[in-house]
A and B are shown apart, each in its own frame.
Chain A
Amino acid sequence: MSRASRQVGLPTWLFAPAAVGALFVVLPLAAMLARVEWSDFVGLISSESSIDALLLSLRTSSISTLLCVVFGVPMAMVLGRTTFRGQQVARSLVLLPLVLPPVVGGIALLYTFGRRGLLGHSFEVLGIQVAFSTAAVVMAQTFVALPFLVVSLEGALRSAGGRYEAVASTLGARPTTVFRRVTLPLVLPGLLSGAVLSFARSLGEFGATITFAGSLQGVTRTLPLEIYLQRETDSDAAVALSLVLVIVAVVVIGLARVRGAI
C-alpha cells in the first residue's frame, strides 16, 4: 500500500509504545556495535576456530534450509490443500517446535536418534551414529526451522486460494502439472520468505544443537556455539563474531528483499 493511499490516521498515543519497542530492538545492537574492537576486527574473526565455525554454520544452515523446503513444501500442501480428520491436531504438532524450548527439542532428538534412542539402536546396527556429528547439527536446525517454512507457505497457499488451480485442472492439467505450473509460481514469494526465515533460524540455532550435537570444533561447533564459548575467554572475539552473524543475517534478508520475497 502506498503512503498516499492511507486515509485513516493512527491514534497518536500508539506512536510512543511503538518507538519504545523499536528502541528496545535497536539499542542492544547499537551497544554491541559500540563494543566492537575495530582495530583488530579482522584478527579477531580469522582465528582457525572462528573460520571453522562460520563455514560450518553456513554449510549446515544451507543444507537444513534445503531439507526444510524438501519436506516443508509437501507438508504445507497437505495442510493447506486437503481436508482430513485430525488436521487441526496435525497442524499443532507440526508447529510444536515453534513454541518448544530448543533444549527440549535437542533432548527429544537425542532420545530418538541417540545411541540409546528410539531409532538410535537400529542406526547403530547399520553402522551409522547420528548424535554428536555434523548430521546431528543439520537435524537439530531442521527440527527448529521447519515450522517457519510450513507456516509461511501455508499462509501463502491460503491467501492464493484454490481457484486458479481449479481452472488449471479444468483446462486439462494433471495434479503434478497444476502444482508445478500454477501453485508453485503463485506461492513463490511465500516460499522464498519461508526459506529465508528457516535459514535465519538455522543460523541462530543454539540449544538443540549443543544438546544433540555437542560442541566439537569443525564438526558440530557452529558460530553461535563458538560465540558462547569465546565469551568465557575472549569477549572481544565474541563481540566481533556476533557482528559477523548479524551481517550474514542482514545480507540474507537483503537478498530476499531484492527478490521480492519478504
Chain B
Amino acid sequence: MTLELSATMTERGLDLSMHVETGEMLAVLGPNGSGKSTALALIAGLLRPDVGTASLDGRVLFDIGTPGRAPAWVPPHARGVALLAQEPLLFPHLSALDNVAFGPRSEGRPRAQSRTVAQHWLGEVDAAQYADRRPAQLSGGQAQRIAVARALAADPSLLLLDEPMAALDVAVAPAVRQMLRRVLRERSVVIVTHDVLDALLLADRVLVIDDGRVAEEGPTEQVLARPRSAFAARIAGLNMVRGNLDGHGVRGPDGTFVEGLTDQPISQGDPAVAVFRPSAVGVYRQPPGGSPRNVLDVTITELAPFGEQVRVRTPLLSADITAAAVAELDLAPGTRVVFAVKASEVAIYRS
C-alpha cells in the first residue's frame, strides 16, 4: 500500500478517505468545487486538515487530532510527493533544462549530475530539443511536457496530477495524454480530472468525490460502465467495445465490429477499445440506410429513465433516446432492435 489518507476539513466541508496502491493510478472525478484539488493539496502538504492521518510507503505524512497521540506534520519538501497543476508553472527565470534539474538540485545533487538527470527526463517526454528555451518561448503543450519531466525528475514516491490536460489546446491534449500513459506506467499516481477519457485511458481505479465526500470508488471500467453515483452516471455510462484493430475499426471477440477514428497510429491486430457516448447512438427497428454507420443488432434488457431521456440498455451497449421515441418504436425489454452510430462519433484507442 502506497498512500493511505483520511482527513476532515470542516471549513471546506471535506471528509474523505482514500488509498493508492503501489504502482497504481487512481483517477479522482467529481463536479467543480467538490474537493478534488483540496484532497491533492492535503496529500502534498499545502493544506492542513483539522483532523486526519496520512501515510506514504509506511512513513507518516501527518497525524493530527488523533486522541492520545502527539500531532505529526511533515512539510511538503520532505514528503516525496510531486504536484503537477493545470498550468505548467515552469519557473520563468530558468531554462527548461534547469527547471527539470530543480528537483535533483534541491536534493543536493551537483549541478552537472542534475543536468544529466534533467536531459534524460526531457528525452522521456520528447522535449529534449527545448532544453535551452525559457518558459516564455514554449507553447502550452511543450511547457506541460516539461512540467511532467520536472515532476518525474524529482523522483517522487507519489505523483499528483491536477487536471494536467485542462489548460491545453484540444489539438495537443491527445499527444500529451499518450506521453503520460507511457511515462506514468508502473508509477503511483493520483490524477484529478474532468475528462472521463483521462480516467478510462490512464487510471486503474476511479474515486468519485461529491460535496467533499467519496461518492463511489472502484475499478475504472466498472465505475464507468455501471456508475452508481449521480455524477459518475452523468459523465460515464460510456459504451466500450474491446477487441483488436481491424481496418478502421475494432472487432470484438464475439464478432461485433465498430468503425471509428483514431488519434494515434495503431497497428492492425493490436488490442484496442472503441468508445462512444450513449447519446450518439440511434435506435431503429430496421437497419437504416444513408451515410456509413456502424449497425449493431442487439436485444434490449432494460429501459431506465436517465434525466429527461430514457437509457436503453443491452447486455453490452446503451443508447439514450427520448421517451417519445421509446413510445413510437414500442420498445420493451426483449425487443430486438438495431443500434446505429456514426463512425465519426466513435473514438478508438490502443488498450
Binding site for B on A (CB under 8 A): 163-164, 166-175, 177-178, 181-182, 185-186
| Residue of A169, A181, A185 with highest tally of chain B CB at under 10 A | A169
| Residue of B79, B102, B103 with highest tally of chain A CB at under 10 A | B102
- Please state if A163 and B89 are interface contacts (CB–CB under 8 Å): yes
| B107 at the A interface (CB under 8 A) | yes
Complex A-B: 6 CB contacts under 8 Å: A169-B76, A170-B77, A170-B156, A170-B160, A171-B77, A171-B102
- Please state if B77 and A173 are interface contacts (CB–CB under 8 Å): yes
> Closest approach, in angstroms, between the C-beta of B163 and any C-beta of chain A?
14
| B199 at the A interface (CB under 8 A) | no
Contact of B102 among A173, A174, A175 (CB under 8 A): A173
- Please state if B76 and A182 are interface contacts (CB–CB under 8 Å): no
Closest to A161 in B: B89
| Residues in chain B near residue A181, CB distance under 8 A | 91, 102, 105-106
> Closest approach, in angstroms, between the C-beta of B253 and any C-beta of chain A?
44
- Please state if A167 and B89 are interface contacts (CB–CB under 8 Å): yes
| Residues in chain A near residue B81, CB distance under 8 A | 170
Scoring B residues 133 to 168 as 1 if CB is less than 8 Å from chain A, else 0, what string do you get? 000000000000000001100101000100000000
Closest to B44 in A: A170
- Please state if A174 and B106 are interface contacts (CB–CB under 8 Å): yes
Pairs of residues from A and B, 5 with the lowest C-beta to C-beta distance, nearest first: A173-B106, A169-B76, A170-B83, A185-B93, A171-B103
Please, how many angstroms separate the alpha-carbon atoms of A86 and B154 in the complex?
A: 38
Given A172-B103, A186-B93: A163 in contact with B85 (beta carbons within 8 A): yes
| Residues in chain B near residue A171, CB distance under 8 A | 77, 82, 102-103, 106, 150-151, 154
Given A172-B107, A173-B102: A166 in contact with B76 (beta carbons within 8 A): yes
Closest to B81 in A: A170
> Closest approach, in angstroms, between the C-beta of A89 and any C-beta of chain B?
24
Contact of A169 among B77, B80, B105, B150 (CB under 8 A): B77
> Closest approach, in angstroms, between the C-beta of A133 and any C-beta of chain B?
41
| Residues in chain A near residue B154, CB distance under 8 A | 170-172
Closest to B153 in A: A171
> Closest approach, in angstroms, between the C-beta of B59 and any C-beta of chain A?
14
> Closest approach, in angstroms, between the C-beta of A66 and any C-beta of chain B?
24
- Please state if A167 and B106 are interface contacts (CB–CB under 8 Å): no
- Please state if B107 and A164 are interface contacts (CB–CB under 8 Å): no
> Closest approach, in angstroms, between the C-beta of B140 and any C-beta of chain A?
16
Please, how many angstroms separate the alpha-carbon atoms of A186 and B90 in the complex?
A: 12
> Closest approach, in angstroms, between the C-beta of A166 and any C-beta of chain B?
5
- Please state if B89 and A172 are interface contacts (CB–CB under 8 Å): no
| B13 at the A interface (CB under 8 A) | no
- Please state if B91 and A164 are interface contacts (CB–CB under 8 Å): yes
| B325 at the A interface (CB under 8 A) | no
